[in-house]
Structure formats: C-alpha cells, structure tokens
Structure 1
Amino acid sequence: MEIDAIIIGAGACGLMCAVQAGFLGKKVIVLEKNSKPGAKILISGGGRCNFTNQWATTEQFISANPHFLKSAFNQWTADDTINFFETYGIVGKEKTLGQLFPDHKNAKDVVEVFTSLCEQMEQEVWCNIEVKDIEQTNNGFVVNYAIGDKVKAISAAKVVVASGGLPIPKMGATDFALRFARNNGLKIIETAPALVPLTITGKDEDWYAQLSGNSVFCEVSNDEISFEENILFTHWGLSGPAILQISSYWRRGEVFNINLLPHQNILELIENERKTNGKVLLSTLLNRLYAKKFTDALNKFLPLTKTVADLSKAEMELIYQTIHEFKVKPAGDKGYDKAEVMRGGIDTDELSSKTLECKKIPGLYFGGECMDVTGWLGGYNFQWAWASGFVIAQNL
C-alpha cells in the first residue's frame, strides 16, 4: 500500500493532521489505540467540547521555550480553527473568557467532522491498534503494532507521533511518545499532571471537606501569575477553574494565595458599615458577600459574632489577611486520572518550530500533548492540537 505517512494517535492533533494531509492529496493511515477515534475530544467540556479560544496567543502556554509556538500559531490561528469548523457546520458560541463551544452541537459533532472528511478522502483510521515501536529504515520507517494477539508492521516514508500525554489512563492515555523519545536520545522536560484538582490533608482537611460543593469567585495567585475565576471546595481539597489554572504553575511544597474578594476591599466595606450602622455583626456583612455556609466556616478564623464597631485594629488586620491573602499549601494533586493535560514532555529544542520535524530523526514528527507545550484551561490545548496537526500536514 502506497502511503505518504503513518499517524500514531487519532486524537485532535492526529485527526487534524490526517484531514489537512488529505486536502493536499497525501495518503495517510492513522493508528488508534482506542475502539473509536477522538476519545478525549468526546469527553471534553462535559461532552460539549470547548474546541478553541478566540483570544489564543502564545501567552497562554507553559513551555521551557514559549517562543517555539509562534511559528505554528502564525501558520494556523484561532480564526483558522473557527473558520474550519464553520465550514463544516459547527459555529462557535462564547461561554466565558473567549472559550468557544459548538452552538447547538457537541463533541460528537466535532469528531464527526474529522471522521467524515477522512472517509471522503479515503484516509484510513485503524482502531484497537497498539503501536509497539518505530524502526528507521533506508526508505523511511516501519511501525510495529499489535492488533489482538497478532503483531504486524506497516511502513511509510514519514511518521507522525500524536499519541497524547499521560492524563486519563482509562481513556487510553499512553506513554508511548515519551518512551520512544527517551529510547532515541531525545530530551524530555519533566512531566507532571496539569489543570488538575489539588488535595488538602492534615489539620485543615476537615475545614475544606465541610464546604464541599461550595463555589466562590476568587483571584488565585502565586509569584508568577494570577487567575480570576471560581474555586470549588471538595471533600479532598480544591477544584474549579481558578484552581485548575494555578495547578499548572504549582509545585509540591509551595504555598499560593487566594483573594476571596478580588474586586472590593473588605476593610473599606467595614468602615462604610461603621459609618451607617456600627451594630451590624461581621457575620451579617459577610453573608452579603458569600453563601451562609461559607461565612459560617470563616468562624474558624474570624470573630463573626462581633459588631463592626467593636473590631480591634488587630482583628481588622486578621480579617484583611483572611479575605484577601488566604494562604493554601496543598498536599498534592489528584494525579493523571483527574488531570486534563500533562505539563512537560518532549523538549521543543528537539524539533523544528516551523515543521515540528525531529531534528535528530528526519521524517519523524511530534505534535499535540506529548510535547512540552501546555495551555491554560479554556480551549487553548485544543488550539495547539489543531495548529500542530496542520503544520505537520504541510510538511509530510
């Protein structure tokens, strides 16, 4: 069978690569470990699929070399993603902060765009395939794979590794790309779960657990960055958009800050209350700002039963620190089972930024999550997957 390339992985990057290669008249075969393509796309956004972010730039990505992304994002922009999906009947609707979801459609429809185009262009997607290894030959590459008990091989001049990262093993996540890279002397930036809930243990564990299910709009920050979104208290610690965002910048043992009232100053609110009605209890004032259950929980730290007029200078300072500088030191994270993406991966220095071809192994390309490119929550990682798939297809 004459084919131009083998693509390992029928996720967002692999499917986009197959379709874009088809547009250029190139024949590819996609090898997928799962029983159907696009497994991770199908569960994204609770099945709704936040397929891009209209404000995506290189600024929302973590990498040892953030400049690496510029070439790919110049070749395939967020507007290109929006136009591509609109062409096939999927119109983006902004939910918040530039996040685009399909209007009146869902993740299944996103996958259907790719599977239909692959079928039309006779780009084959083989499922239930476990890739074992890639061997270099004089004419290109041989990919050894297992289907059931049988081990087979397929050859092509070029190979694309778009097999994803380590998160969500039950969805077929595999370390194949990282293993292959290590075995071939490619540098790996240390990997860790990212966009992941954080756990609290020890003396504060019960305090967080009692608030499970409560959500508060906050600013979460460390020395490097800050995010304003909701946090969600859970039985085991913290989750919610702001926590997932800061988790990508958090390292075990570090403390970060939560501002529980980012757009107001609690001391000013107390002073204003003192002028009008000093007999108001601190708890009454806080109940105007938060759910009662959350206010009640703050009793552990604050003199809720005191009137605002009776608060001492030391108590005012304590209130400010608790509301605006609430310190959190997580014990750890919920691991790859609950992480949305992987931080770290194959060092971008090993690849051409213009083509994503491996410098040490010509004809071999890496794309998507297996690389040291990690986006924020909100469609950014999909944008990287589409862009890297497009870029690789242009060079097969």
Structure 2
Amino acid sequence: MIYDAIIIGGGACGLMCAAQAGLIGKKTLVLERNDKIGAKILISGGGRCNYTNIGNSPANFISENPDFLHGIFKQWTVDDTITFFEQYGIVGQEKTLGQLFPETNKAKDIVAVFSKILYETGQDIALNTLVKSVEKNDNGFVVTVENAKGESRYHAHKVVISSGGLPVQKLGASDFGIRLAKQFGLNVVGTAPALVPLTITGKDADWYSSLAGNSVFSKVSVAGMSFEENILFTHWGLSGPAILQISSYWIPGQEITIDLLPNFNLDNLIKQERQYGGKRLVSQLLNDYFSRKLVDALGKFLALDTKIASLSKADAKLIVDTIHRFKVKPAGDKGYDKAEVMRGGVSTEELHPKTLMSKKVEGLYFGGETVDITGWLGGYNFQWAWASGYAIAQDI
C-alpha cells in the first residue's frame, strides 16, 4: 500500500492531522514508538489536559518569527478546537487565565476522541514502532521502521513529522524530528528546555531548600517579560507556574527579579503602620501576607524584630526592595525530563506558512513541538498542535 501520508508521532499534532485527513477521505499511517497513542496528552495537566486557552494569540508564543502563526491560527481557531471536541462529547470548563479543561477532568477523554475518529475513518496505527530512516524517491517516501516483528518498510506520497521534542524521555521523546530536518538540509533554531523548573546552587541553596513546599503569588520578571502567578520553593530551587513561564525567556547567567507582593505597595503599608504608631514589628507586618516559615526565612536579610516606628529610611528601603525586587540568579534548569516543552526547532523560514510543508523537500511536513514555536503554559501548546495538525491535513 502507498499511503497518502505517513505521520511520525502519535501525539497531539499527529493525531489531529490523522483525524482531519481521515475526515476528508485520506488514508494515513501513524507511527508511534509508545505502546499507546497520546502518551503526553494523558499526563498533561496532571492527567486533566488543559487542551486550549481562550486568549490564544501569536503573542503567547516564542519563536524567531511569531508572526508565522497568523496563517495557521486563521485556519484553525480556538472556537474550532472547542467545537471539534464538543462534537465528540467534550465540554470545556474554563479555569484560571483562560485555560480550558474537559468538564470530566480526564485527559483520556481527549485521546478517546482521536481513537474513535481514526477507527471510524480507517486510519492505520503502528504502536511500539521505532522509525529508523526516512528516504525520498521519485514516487514519494520510504519509511523504514523497527518493532518486535523486525524491520519493515512503508511507502507514502507524503510524510508528516510530528514526533515532538526532547522533553520527557520516558515517554519516548527524542531529537528524531530535528535530526531528520538536518538530514534534509533544513535550518534548525537552537533547542533548549522550556517551561522548566530552575535550580539554585551554592551558598543560597540551603535557604531555598528550607522553604520547600511554600507557594507564593508573585510577579516574576526577566529581560522585559513578566508573569504573575504562583512560585513554588523546592528542595533544588524554584518551580510553579510563574517560574515555568519565565524559564522560556530566561538565558543562563541572567538574574530574575521576583515581586513577592505584587498586589500591594509595601512602602505605603509601612507608612500606614507608622500613622498608627508603628508599634508592630516588621515580622508582624509581613505575617499578614506570607507564611510564618517564609517570614522567618526572610530574617536572613531583614531585621524582623525591629519595630516599624524605629525603621530608618535605609531599613525601610531594604524591606521594600527585598519584597518587591527579590533577586535570583539560577544556576540552571532541571532539564528536558522536567520540562513541559522544547524551545527552538525547525525554523519557520523553512516552511510554507499555510501548509507547513518544507520549502526544500516536496511532501515533507513539520508540525507541533518539532517546529520553532513554543507556547506559554496554559493550553497554548495544545492549540498550536491542533492547528498545525489541521493545516497539514488539508494539504496531504
């Protein structure tokens, strides 16, 4: 059999591509190295799957050319995602910051939608299958694979690379898509872990470790970007939504600024305390806003047992600067196994902006995480996966 397309990778992009191709009468083969499709979907959002975001726009993505997204997102919008899943019984429930989850809170329900469509439209799936090579000839492509039965070859007019990036190796993550792009002479933007916890080492490591488990709503900033969400102290540094978000913009060596009290002006709070006599201690004021454990830890930097009325201008400024402009210089990040996604990938300059087909190799497509498109935390990467899968399907 010569397939209309062989889709390498049975994740979000690959499944949407196969489903949409099937719905318009195409015949595809999905090659997946895991023992089930949608492995990464199943663990996303703690098994609940934040499958899109109401506020999705190109501004929520990192890329050397974020404007590239306009052409894809015009073809497949957030409303299209919502309608698509609703047709198969998935009702969305909006949560914090526009995040949409299935009302059932079950990621497996999302995967079940694709299983149903692929079965009903007669698409083929090969699980536990490792792709060894992709070669192009005059008739299309030959894909050589290896599984328990040995080595096999499949033929197709077109090939879709939706094999994801490097995060979460236990789910079969690899740099296959990047290596294949280079094999065919495509430019690749340098890759790195993104949406990843940050590590602290050296003299401050014990201070962070002592606060492990403490979560604080904060504003985290680096290089002109900032996010307001929770940060989480850990035994090895910092995590939590705000840290994961900023990690996609952080470059090793940079200092991060954390406003630990973004919704209040501590300078004004100190002035108000003084108007009432300033009899309370610094620790008592801070205890109004932070856990006792965090306040005690801040004693490393601040004179907690000083009465507010007794604070000098320099002391008050130190308190304000420490709380509103807490400086952190991470040693590194927790790497691909703890990262949500990969930054970088196949350059958008190499792809047609409507179809995602390679400009250099006729019939070869790249979608999802393999491309230099990295979304924020909160359903954006899924929206890109669905949209890129749909766009490719229309052309294969």
Per the shorter chain, which TM-score range?
over 0.9
Per-residue deviation, 1:223: 2.4
Q: Deviations over 1:193-228 (max 9, x none)?
A: 000000000011010000000000000011221100
1:77 corresponds to:
77
Asked if the contact 2:211–2:293 (Cα under 8 Å) also holds between the matched residues in 1, the reply is: yes
1:276-315 alignment to 2 at 5 Å? 276-315=276-315
CA contact (8 A) 2:47 2:105 kept: no
Secondary structure of the structure 2 residue equivalent to 1:382: helix
Partner of 2:384: 384
Q: Tell me the alpha carbon deviations over residues 156-178 of structure 1, each in whole angstroms, 9 at most, x when there is no partner.
A: 11110100000000111011101
In the alignment, which residue of structure 1 is the partner of 2:160? 160
Q: Which residue of 2 aligns with 1:198?
A: 198
Counterparts of 1:272 and 1:173, CA distance in 2: 55
- 1:246 matched to 2:246? The reply is yes
Q: Which residue of structure 2 aligns with residue 26 of structure 1? A: 26
User: 1:111 is matched with which residue?
Assistant: 111
- 1:104, distance to aligned residue in structure 2 (A): 1.9
Query: For 2:79 and 2:269, how far apart are their aligned partners in 1?
Result: 43
Deviation of the 1:124 alpha carbon: 1.1
**Matching residue of 1:94:** 94
Deviates further, 218-227 or 145-154: 145-154
Aligned amino acid, residue 166 of structure 2 = L
Supply the RMSD in Å over aligned alpha carbons.
0.8
Counterpart mapping for 1:220-259 below 5 A: 220-259=220-259
Hey, what does 1:37 align to over in structure 2? Answer: 37
* % identical equivalent positions: 62
- Distance (Å, rounded) in 2 between the aligned partners of 1:357 and 1:183: 16
C-alpha deviation, 1:379, in angstroms: 0.2
Residue pair 2:208, 2:237 contacting (<8 A) in 1 also: yes
| Contact 2:13–2:385 (8 Å) recurs in 1 | yes
Structure 2: give runs of 5+ residues left out of the alignment: none
- Distance of 1:90 and 1:212 partners within structure 2: 37
Distance in 1 (CA, whole Å) between partners of 2:368 and 2:379 is 13
Is this contact kept in 2: 1:90–1:105, CA < 8 A?
Answer: no
On the 8 A contact 2:219/2:226 being kept in 1, the answer is: yes
Deviates more, 1:268-277 or 1:210-219: 268-277
The structural deviation recorded for 1:277 is 3.4
Q: Give the letter for the 1:242 counterpart.
A: A
CA contact (8 A) 2:198 2:243 kept: yes
Matched, 1:177 2:177: yes
1:150 Cα deviation from its structure 2 partner: 1.2
Q: What is the CA–CA distance in structure 2 between the aligned matches of 1:318 and 1:43, rounded to whole Å?
A: 43
Q: Within 5 Å, give how 1:337-352 maps onto structure 2.
A: 337-352=337-352
Q: 1:160 & 1:7 partners in 2: Cα distance?
A: 5
TM-score w.r.t. the length of structure 2 is: 0.99
| Cα shift at 1:105 | 4.0
Q: 1:105 and 1:321, CA in 2 relative to 1: closer, same or farther beyond 3 A?
A: closer
| Counterpart secondary structure, 1:4 | strand
Partner of 2:123: 123
Determine the C-alpha separation between the residues in 2 that align with 1:136 and 1:160.
Answer: 13
Q: Could you say what secondary structure the match of 1:79 adopts?
A: helix
Question: How many residues of Structure 1 are paired with residues of Structure 2 in the alignment?
Answer: 396
Equivalent residue letter for 1:131 = V
Kindly state the Cα deviation for residue 305 of structure 1 after the two structures are TM-superposed: 0.2
Verify the 8 A CA contact 1:6 1:160 in the aligned structure 2. Answer: yes
Query: Is the contact made by 2:2 and 2:157 (CA closer than 8 Å) also made in structure 1?
Result: no
What SS is found at the alignment partner of 2:253? Answer: coil
Query: 1:188 maps to what in 2?
Result: 188
Unaligned runs of 5+ in 1: none
Between 1:140-149 and 1:160-169, the stretch displaced more is 140-149
Query: Which letter does structure 1 place at the counterpart of 2:73?
Result: F
- Structure 1 residue 2: deviation in Å? 4.0
Equivalent-residue separation in structure 1 for 2:52 and 2:206 (angstroms):
38
SS at match of 1:238: strand
Are residue 212 (structure 1) and residue 222 (structure 2) matched?
Answer: no
> Residues 2 and 155 of structure 2 are in contact (CA less than 8 Å); yes or no, is this contact kept in structure 1?
no
CA contact 2:49–2:105 (8 Å) conserved in 1: no
Q: Tell me what 2:332 maps to.
A: 332
Shift of residue 263, structure 1, vs aligned partner: 1.4
8 Å CA contact retained: 1:200, 1:331: yes
2:361 corresponds in structure 1 to 361
**Stretches of 4+ aligned residues off by more than 3 angstroms:** none
Distance in 1 separating the partners of 2:231 and 2:277: 32
Match of 2:375 in 1: 375
Tell me if the contact between 2:7 and 2:28 (Cα under 8 Å) persists in the aligned partners: yes
Tell me the amino acid that sits aligned with residue 206 of structure 2: D
Distance 1:170 1:223 in 2: 33
How far apart are the structure 2 equivalents of 1:105 and 1:239? Answer: 23
SS of alignment partner, residue 36 of structure 2: coil
